[in-house]
Amino acid sequence: MPSLDELRAQITQCRLCDLSKARTQAVPGEGNPRAQVMLIGEGPGFYEDQRGRPFVGPAGHFLDELLGLAGFSRGDVFITNVVKCRPPGNRDPEPEELAACDGHLRAQIEVIQPNVIVTLGRFSLAKFVPGVRSMKEVHGRAIPYQGRLVVAMYHPAAALHQGGLRRVIEEDFRMLPMIVARKAPAGAVAEPAPAASPAAEQISLFAL
């Protein structure tokens, strides 16, 4: 199994799709290689493409605030995207681009072995929970996935375009410590969790 450094090298040299032709830099991801929590966004934007780091623009600044609300810092988690190169004009990633990057993402998950995957946006969520019709119905909830929990979250950029979502996203992140504690390895010392909320309960996808 390749290490994270080896995966980073593979990603920075990747030419599996046309996104590689227009990028300034690939954005493999960064953070704790043994993180319990892995956050997966959709794709790099302008600032990320320039710096080769995930979530360093305005949405990234808000993500830092959200992590703080959950009691985490960037050094505690691992942050990446479903596609590792910027789609032109920050458009949605296309199916062939998502497919080309799928191996990179799966390999990162295999190496890090997170207990909790936080999906940021609908394209990230669809990697693990296909067929969800609306983020309104699943945001903030923990969904079982291959021995892990996938937590559906709005993308931080959504709050920059729709101010009314800011409080919703903040409340979702405040529930994250409780979800992480639920999946903590045996013997691990978890921080005190907030009171349970109906929005944090597991859902049945058939009820969507």
pLDDT digits (tens), the chain, 208 positions: 899 999 999 999 999 999 999 999 999 999 999 999 999 999 999 999 999 999 999 999 999 999 999 999 999 999 999 999 999 999 999 999 999 999 999 999 999 999 999 999 999 999 999 888 889 989 999 999 999 999 999 999 999 999 999 999 999 999 999 999 987 654 333 333 333 333 333 333 323 2
Strand arrangement, sheet containing 37-41: 30-31, 78-81, 37-41, 116-120, 148-153, 142-145
Within the chain, strands assigned E span 30-31, 37-41, 78-81, 116-120, 142-145, 148-153
Sign of CA dihedral 131, 134, 137, 139: positive
Q: According to the model, what pLDDT value does residue 197 have?
A: 34
Which region, left, alpha or beta, applies to residue 198 given φ > 0 means left and ψ of -120 to 50 means alpha?
alpha
Which pLDDT value is given to residue 133? 84
Closest residue by Cα to residue 143 from 208, 77, 73: 208
What pLDDT, on the 0 to 100 scale, is given for residue 184?
A: 63
Predicted confidence at residue 198, as pLDDT, reads 33
Domain boundaries, the chain: 4-184
For position 172, what pLDDT does the model report? 97
Check residue 185 and give its pLDDT: 55
Residue 25: partners with Cβ closer than 8 Å, 6 or more residues away = 12, 49, 50, 51, 52
pLDDT at position 1 is: 84
**Residue whose pair of structure tokens reads 């319990």 in the numeric block:** 36
CA distance 208 to 206: 6
Both tokens of residue 191? 């921080």
Q: How far apart are CA 113 and CA 91, in angstroms?
A: 30
Q: Residues near 111 by Cβ (< 8 Å), separated by ≥ 6?
A: 1, 2, 3, 4, 7, 33
How many CB atoms neighbour CB 14 within 10 A?
A: 19
CA distances from 181 to 26, 36, 104, 118, 186 (A): 33, 10, 28, 14, 10
Pick the CATH number of 4-184 from 3.40.50.720, 3.40.470.10, 2.40.160.20, 3.40.225.10: 3.40.470.10
Annotate 146-169 with b (16+ C-beta within 10 A) or e (fewer): eebbbbbbbbbbbbeeeeebbebb
